[in-house]
Amino acid sequence: MADMINVALPKGRLGDRVYDMFEAAGFECPSIREKNRKLIFENPEKGVRYFWVKPSDVAIYVERGAADIGVVGKDILMEAGSDIYELLDLNTGCCRMAVAAPKGYVNDPDSDLRVATKFTNVAREYYASMGRDIDIIHLNGSIELAPILGLSDVIVDLVETGTTLRENNLEVIEEIAQISARLISNKSSFKFKNKQIEEIAGKMAEQIK
Ligand code: PRP
């Protein structure tokens, strides 16, 4: 039998939704539905093995070849600049990467802009492209708190429904990118396991709305 295809799935709601797509593509692995804390599941008949990994780690597994393919948000790919192939936009997990500020915020071009974010590379590149000097404040979550407490002027963060911003009196002032989940592949796996990877990607593509 041909080599197994190793698939890194992001733990959580997005991963559950995306596993449904792999299943509908004919690459099911029923044991993954059992309620337990195992992290690896395989179906040798279908030639697939799934791992649940932290969403922000998927691209690392794929880039280094511990997984052949995986599913990851475009936000994480932008931030990490991973050396992988992006095979498909799965059109799920959709949101925006945006700059947000307290309502009524007025930009002062004469002082460094204080930007709080998890996405420091994205923010740096974005402001560098505009020639704006910034002071980056790296946070790991609850980014919306930063401008409220005076820790930053603005934030760079993901906006999905906009509820978090609204309920904290913040608003989007600039959009940086549209984000969605992507099917990605390790570069050498794409060459050496091309037939299997193309088959999976093709069957996933048929399901994209
Ligand atoms: C994400 C994001 C925003 C929120 C946006 O946070 O960082 O805070 O969701 O969603 P909304 O527009 O639908 O309100 P997450 O829940 O992942 O937690 P975090 O604070 O750890 O980033």
pTM: 0.94
Ligand 1 close to Cβ of residue 162 (< 6 A):
yes
Q: Which atom of ligand 1 is nearest to the CA of 167?
A: 14
Spell out the per-residue pLDDT of the chain, length 209, in tens. 458 999 999 999 999 999 999 999 999 999 998 888 899 999 999 999 999 999 999 999 999 999 999 999 999 999 999 999 999 999 999 999 999 999 999 999 889 999 999 999 999 999 999 999 999 999 999 999 999 999 999 999 999 999 999 999 999 999 999 999 999 999 999 999 999 999 999 999 999 98
CA distance 50 to 36: 14
Burial class (CB in 10 A: 0-12, 13-18, 19+), 106: exposed
Ligand 1 close to Cβ of residue 159 (< 6 A):
yes
* pLDDT of amino acid 1: 46
* pLDDT of amino acid 3: 85
CA distance 190 to 3: 13
* pLDDT of amino acid 2: 58
Atom 10 in ligand 1: which residue has the minimum CA distance? Answer: 160
Q: Rounded to 5 degrees, what are φ and ψ at 105?
A: -60, 135
Q: Which atom of ligand 1 is nearest to the CA of 163?
A: 14
